[in-house]
Every structure is written in structure tokens, then in C-alpha cells.
Amino acid sequence: EPEVTQTPSHQVTQMGQEVILRCVPISNHLYFYWYRQILGQKVEFLVSFYNNEISEKSEIFDDQFSVERPDGSNFTLKIRSTKLEDSAMYFCASSATGLAALTGELFFGEGSRLTVL
Amino acid sequence: KQEVTQIPAALSVPEGENLVLNCSFTDSAIYNLQWFRQDPGKGLTSLLLIQSSQREQTSGRLNASLDKSSGRSTLYIAASQPGDSATYLCAVRPHGQNFVFGPGTRLSVLP
């Protein structure tokens, strides 16, 4: 069964360092998302991406964050200068169609746990 | 702004019981609602997706209902098993926003 894959599963970094989290969405999906979950808190939307550009972003997604689809398969989230409060599980998700469509089901990866020291 | 709540926050039941998890949302203008399962330290597994025009969806022992006008959804699990132990999240897709998640219900099914 097709799945969303994420790497690394866990990354530990020092405050101020740059981090890149990688995702391979399901191959025929067109819409890509990043969510995050701080330990013990709700899953929060960060950004959505379609047709090689950001379609929506939350207030969390400030200038420290960026996303890219560098080739036909990968989708990356970059955090330029990590802060302690960036420690969280970051989830990549994809959907075949826009979420307003009848088949707008979200499929999530296993997540990348980021620990900022 | 859409708010999603889930009751109860945690639930512990003996194996074999039927149970109901509740999800409430404040704005009925939604495209769809999706139920997920999350195992500790793991990703989110999609269980059921209900479109705004639908009343319910079924998959195996799971049945999800949607009452959009009252802002409620329930997830019914029949004949619970220890393997059902996980956190169950509901998420709604409001008009003009991305998915908004509830805090989850942590379910323990005791053998």
C-alpha cells in the first residue's frame, strides 16, 4: 500500500542550527502538507503546497521556515535557525486532491522527531 | 475560528466492550471530517473520512457519524480489542482553512 515516508525519524540539533526534514509523498498525490505536534499538544497545521508553491500557511510558519520540492519525489521542510520551542514531531502529509474535494483524504507519514538542545 | 474538542480525554474499557468517542466542532461550515488513530510516538493513520453531505461511514468494526448542524461526530468501536489501544483524533476541514485537529481521546482496552 502506498505510504508517505519521512526522514530522519529523529534528529537532535543545537539551538541556532539549520535542520532539513525530508518527505516522500504518495506518488500520484498533488497536495503536500507539513504539520507539527509538540509533545502533549494538538496537531497543528504549518503549511500546504501545491503546484510548486505555498497555498496556505499558518502563523507558526514564519520566516524561519521554508518548504521546497527539489525534485519530482521529495518535499522538504527547512528550519533556518532552530529554537528550543521548535522541538516537536513534524508530520508530512499528502492528498490526491484538494481538501475541499470529495476525495480530499489526508495521508500522514510516521513523523520526524526534532529535539533542539 | 474553528475549535475542535473531544470527550472523553481518556477512556479505559475491558476487552469486548462497544464504545463511543465524541468530537465536537464550533463551526458547521466544513468540507469534511476525518478520524485518525495515533500510536505512541508514531504517525497518524487515517480511519474514516466523512464528507459534509454524508451522515456516516463504516469500516470493519468502526462506524463514524456526522451531524454537521449540531457540530458533532462520533466514532463507534464495536467489540473492542487490546490492539485498539491508541489515541484517536478527529480533524475537521473548515471552509477557508486547513484541517483543525482535536486534542484526542486516549483509549486503553484491557485484556
Angle ∠(A68,A72,A75) on CA atoms, nearest 5 = 30
The pLDDT tens digits of the residues spanning A104-115 come to: 788 999 999 999
Span B51-101, pLDDT tens digits: 999 999 999 999 999 999 999 999 999 999 999 999 999 999 888 778 899
Average pLDDT on B3-10 reads 95
pLDDT at A35: 97
Query: CA of B49: which chain A residue's CA is closest?
Result: A105
Out of B31, B103, B104, the one facing A100 most closely (by C-beta) is B31
Question: Which of the four pLDDT bands, split at 50, 70 and 90, describes residue A103?
Answer: low
DSSP state letter for B84: G
State the Cα–Cα distance between residues A53 and B20, nearest whole angstrom: 40
In tens, the pLDDT along A10-54 reads 999 999 999 999 999 998 888 999 999 999 899 999 999 988 899
Helices (H), chain A: none
User: What whole-number distance in Å separates Cα of residue B101 and Cα of residue B86?
Assistant: 16
For B12-22, what is the mean pLDDT? Answer: 96
Cβ–Cβ of B49/A48 closer than 8 Å?
Answer: no
pLDDT value at residue A28:
84
Which of B44, B57, B59, B106 is best to mutate for the A interface (most A CBs within 10 A)? B44
d(CA B72, CA A104): 20
CB contact under 8 A, B34 and A106: yes
- pLDDT for residue A101 is more than 60: no
Give residue A72's pLDDT: 76
Distance from CA of A43 to the nearest CA of B (A): 6
Residue-averaged pLDDT of chain A: 91
Cα-flanking dihedrals φ and ψ of residue B82, to 5°?
-55, -30
Q: How confident is the model at residue A100 (pLDDT cuts 50, 70, 90)?
A: low
Smallest Cβ–Cβ distance between A56 and the set B34, B46, B98 belongs to B98
Distance from CA of A21 to the nearest CA of B (A): 15
Residues B60/B31, Cβ–Cβ less than 8 Å: no
Q: Is A111's CB within 8 Å of B102's CB?
A: no
Chain Cα centroid distance, residue A73 = 14
